[in-house]
Chain A
Amino acid sequence: MSRRLQLLFAFIVVLLAVVTAWAQDPSGEERLASFDSGPATIDVSTYSAEMQENYKVFAVKCSQCHTLARPINSDYALPDEWSRYVKRMMRKPGSGINPKEGKQIYEFLTYDSAIRKKDLVQQKTAAQANG
Chain B
Amino acid sequence: MLPTDDQAAVLPRRLGQRLAVALDHPVIPLLLSLLAVTLGYGGGYLIGSGVSGLEESPSAALGSYAPEPAEVDPVEMGRQVFAQFGCANCHGADGVGGVANANSATAEQVPSLIYVKEAYTVDEIKALIRRGVPVIGKLDSEGPTPPLFMPPWEGAINDRQLDDLVKFLFHLYPEEEDLDW
Contacts and interface: CB of A to CB of B under 8 A. Distances in A.
Interface residues of A, number: 16
B33 interface: no
B113 to A, nearest CB: 10
Contact of B118 (A65, A84, A93): A84
Contacts of A93: 97, 106-107, 109, 111-112
Interface in B90-119: 97, 105-109, 111-112, 115, 118-119
Given A87-B115, A91-B115, A92-B111, A99 B137 contact: no
B97 to A, nearest CB: 7
Interface string B118-132: 111100100000010
Contacts of A107: 181
B1 interface: no
Determine chain A's interface SS by DSSP, over half rule. Answer: helix
A103 B131 CA distance: 30
A24 B56 CA distance: 35
Contact of A92 (B106, B118, B124, B131): B106
Given A84-B119, A94-B106, A103-B181, 12 more contacts: A65-B105, A65-B137, A83-B181, A84-B120, A87-B115, A87-B179, A91-B112, A91-B119, A92-B106, A92-B107, A93-B106, A99-B179
